[in-house]
């Protein structure tokens, strides 16, 4: 089985890391392709956001394994916006960086 380690490290970014679910959500965004993340538009409806991500339950909660609590659309949007700001800030440092492949 092949696992690609993302070049981003938003998972470990904030000094106040929050609970396990917060760390898992940041890791989820670390693994989201940059091209996909750049498609996001804050003005989208919740329904459009859920469709775009494709990993939400019928109850509107993100399917996030090994998490202690549910992630709703509001929290998802807030952390996604922070992840986008993080990438915009870090992107120049990572241009041309290689993705490590761990087998």
Element (H, E) at 47: helix 46-53
Q: Which two tokens mark 101?
A: 């492949």
| Predicted pLDDT at 93 | 75
| Predicted pLDDT at 80 | 96
| Predicted pLDDT at 70 | 95
Q: What does the pLDDT look like over 53-88, one tens digit per residue? A: 999 999 999 999 889 999 999 999 999 999 999 888
| Predicted pLDDT at 78 | 95
The set of residues, in sequence order, having a beta carbon less than 8 Å from that of 20 and lying 6+ positions away, is 66, 67, 68
| Predicted pLDDT at 1 | 42
Average pLDDT value for the chain: 84
């Amino acid at each position: 089985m092949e696992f690609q380690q993302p070049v981003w490290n938003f998972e470990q970014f904030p000094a106040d890391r929050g609970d396990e679910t917060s760390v898992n959500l940041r890791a989820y965004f670390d693994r989201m392709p940059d091209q996909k993340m750049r498609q996001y538009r804050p003005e989208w409806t919740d329904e459009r956001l859920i469709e775009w991500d494709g990993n939400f339950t019928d109850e509107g909660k993100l399917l996030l394994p090994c998490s202690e609590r549910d992630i709703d659309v509001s929290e998802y949007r807030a952390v996604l916006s922070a992840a986008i700001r993080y990438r915009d800030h870090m992107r120049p440092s990572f241009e041309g960086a290689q993705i490590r492949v761990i087998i």
